[in-house]
Structure 1
């Protein structure tokens, strides 16, 4: 919701002449948000193996809620951008932690589906943001909409503190062996072992990053980064600029904002379809095909289409676009062993955030140039880049040797890799 609120109120921000927003300024501020997410993902993805999942989830939610409040109160464009940067820090930190928790607690052969289920909440939040923008923006202004971003600190944090389990591997690394075994038994996980426990201290954090380039991963890691870059350029470029691109193509303001809700509805369907399909055929194959279908959808939107046809194409493009990126995340846990999983996911999401920084800025430059057709072409090219990068991951993995792990992850690469241990 917090990510998509910006795109949902973008037309109202630009139309607020007293505040001083332009299309170019709006794109720059959108990039500040995603730069904050880059910093948050890189930092939290590494720190969570050391401090624990639960404290980092709690802190991340508090930080992005605080950032939303700063935006609601902002007296200037600079202050508003600072609020979006703070929001980005919390949002960027939350993503790799959530992915690591799902990868650890999901049933072995349902990891991709579980990841997709978790990410449906992203699009439910996107639809909620669009609804708030449509309901509150015209009559009450864009500031009121940002106050909704404070709600998670009041509602989600108490629930996380009470019910979110800590990682058995992190508990084991801290010497809390009995607690680790109790959590593992409660959630039917294998008992943690030293191989699954992240090494403590600064030396351990450095070792976790260095392990991303161990044999069997030294080429797969940059390819995952590149695929994540392309996917997040699409996700945040489209989420930020779809309403303006559609308005520049001749659709009304209300219809243009509604397109954002429609594409997020497609995203929810896509997560469920992609997750089940990936558990059967492999996350890499699904991600590559979905990226290519996204490129086709973007090319189709270049044409001047009847409103109903445009809604249909935006919906099916949403099915492919968002889940293509999420299946990159679903493929990552099989590349990294448990002790480096949160770090690996943190760097895949963090380095990928450079795409999220580029996407809103690039969209702003295109819209400022008055060429909506070029914007759709740009997104199509990014989708093709993502397809090529993720398709190469299995090839480079076969050419390297992968160290064994105590608990192999489900096969999401589309080929047999390691032995999956039975649940207790």
Structure 2
């Protein structure tokens, strides 16, 4: 059964009949857009090693594990910088509507992901990756905002967690494609496939409704375009905006320094074990799929966890899992050159990666409709700029040490700090979405 078939056959269980047709369309429109987002961002990490293997010699750089790690991390930092630029989708959505902003972001990341497949050198590849990231970064904020405003209050938390799992269904889908056809498609073919999401824009335009909450906000058309940005950065919202920004920096560093490097780590371990190229591709795909599958389970659990422990408690718990998974995978299994032990820790890493799903529920609860999309986009995108500096330092550490072990293991320290920062954002458990 394919990912799409699985999603279709389980739709009745996920979307109860008591939802209206417009609400179901809103869920599946948001789910589909975010799934395609996950599909596209995973391509870059999944084919990093073969892409660098072809493009590094053209820049006069030797193909070694530490050079792949170094230049790959520079590329990841540039991707994060592009993601930071996507904050612009927030003011666009608050002024012109959630749906047009979501459609434009999908179109942008679809087109430039496909163009990455025609790159002839590192400069071109990184430029297309930067531009794709501007589109990728807008989708989470647009889909999360739209869904929170359309769903009934009684099921808003549940559907927030379910929607966020969509990205990892996308990760599973692209990993399955790479597993089955990666050797035939090559890294260029994988990027061409990533362009298909642009075609879905027309389907989303027809079926996804604009939230009544936004349409009832009659002041939106008369306000300054930048007014929501001013409001989230002045009291009484400034403190929570800064707190959310810092917490998301923790999450992003963990994602890009941890989960994104799983396929590369598996490629290196496969090479050390003397496995063939085809076997290395299969193991890299399986490792990525393992992390994604357990992140989906984590997203399903987040609404209940956030309901029982509160938003702060849920996030701190998931940060704790990231500490265990990161240290286990990179600090224990990787230096032992143990593929089997690495797969033992990947589920823990995957469950901890569901920390982002907490924000899909939490961020909309902290801001009123007139600035909600801007706040969501601002915190989830500008956090990438700060994290880019952190991932660049990690890349330098990989290059200097000649190994992934120490630099990636040290990211656990970031999550320790994150557990102490959860009180910077207000606890909103049990509170209705503000108007």
Deviations 1:148-179 (A, max 9, x none): 1111112x212111101012233334xxxxxx
2:133: which partner in 1? 88
Corresponding residue SS for 2:258: helix
What is the TM-score normalised by the length of structure 1?
0.81
Going from structure 1 to structure 2, the CA distance change for 1:198 and 1:332 (only over 3 Å counts) comes to: farther
Give the equivalent residue in structure 2 for 1:367: 398
Show CA shifts across 1:83-113 (max 9, x none).
1111111111212111101211223143332
Distance 1:266 1:324, change over 3 A: same
Instruction: Say which of 307, 326, 329 aligns to 2:357.
Output: 326
* 2:408 corresponds to which of 376, 394, 400: 376
Question: Where do 1:280-299 residues align within 5 Å?
Answer: 280-299=308-327
Unaligned runs of 5+ in 1: 174-196, 395-411
Count of residues in Structure 1 that have an aligned counterpart in Structure 2: 376
The Cα shift of 1:227 comes to: 0.3
Q: 1:247 to 1:144 in 2, by over 3 A?
A: closer
Q: For residues 392 and 157 of structure 2, what CA distance do their matches in structure 1 show?
A: 31
Q: Helix, strand or coil for the counterpart of 2:216?
A: helix
| Paired position in structure 2 for 1:33 | 79
Maintained 8 Å contact 1:278/1:286: yes
What's the counterpart of residue 375 of structure 2? 344
2:89 corresponds to: 44
- When normalised by structure 2's length, the TM-score is 0.79
Note the C-alpha offset of 1:358.
3.8
CA contact (8 A) 1:245 1:375 kept: no
2 CA distance for matches of 1:18 and 1:346? 38
Aligned alpha-carbon RMSD (Å): 2.5
In structure 2, the CA distance between the partners of 1:232 and 1:71, relative to structure 1 (3 Å rule), is: same
Q: Which residue pairs with 2:205 in the alignment?
A: 161
SS in 1 for 2:161: helix
User: Equivalent of 1:10, from 34, 44, 48?
Assistant: 48
Inter-partner Cα distance in structure 2 for 1:355 and 1:315 = 27
What is aligned with 2:64?
none
Q: Which residue of 1 aligns with 2:106?
A: 61
CA distance in 2 between counterparts of 1:326 and 1:355 reads 20
Return closer, same or farther for 1:333/1:170 CA change in 2, 3 Å cut-off. closer
Alignment of 1:20-419 (within 5 A): 20=59, 22-23=67-68, 24-40=70-86, 42-154=87-199, 156-173=200-217, 197=218, 199-201=220-222, 203-248=223-268, 253-254=280-281, 255-301=283-329, 302-304=331-333, 306-321=338-353, 323-358=354-389, 360-369=391-400, 370-394=402-426, 413-414=428-429, 417=431
Q: Distance in 1 between matches of 2:396 and 2:144?
A: 32
**TM superposition shift of 1:384:** 1.9
Structure 1 residues 269 and 362: CA distance shift in structure 2, 3 A = farther
Shift of 1:44: 0.3
The more displaced of 46-55 and 132-141 is 132-141
Instruction: State whether residues 233 and 358 of structure 1, in contact with CA within 8 Å, keep that contact through their aligned partners in structure 2.
Output: no
Deviations 1:123-148 (A, max 9, x none): 11112222233333333321001011
The CA deviation string for residues 179-220 of structure 1, in whole angstroms up to 9 with x for no partner, is xxxxxxxxxxxxxxxxxx55335x433332222245443322
The farther-off stretch of 98-107 and 365-374 is 365-374
Deviation of the 1:31 alpha carbon: 2.0
CA–CA distance in structure 1, aligned partners of residues 209 and 393 of structure 2: 40
Q: 123-132 vs 218-227, which deviates more?
A: 123-132
User: Which sections of structure 2, spanning at least 5 residues, go unmatched?
Assistant: 1-38, 62-66
SS at match of 2:332: coil
Shift, 1:223, TM fit: 0.8
The equivalent of 2:14 in structure 1 is none
Is 1:113–1:279's contact at 8 Å kept on the other side of the alignment? no
User: 1:205 aligns to what SS in structure 2?
Assistant: coil
Q: Structure 1: how far apart are the matches of 2:57 and 2:198?
A: 30
The structure-2 alpha-carbon separation of the partners of 1:274 and 1:58, relative to structure 1 and needing over 3 Å to count, comes to same
Change (3 A) 1:94 1:151: same
Q: 1:360 to 1:36 in 2, by over 3 A?
A: same
Q: 1:239 to 1:71 in 2, by over 3 A?
A: farther
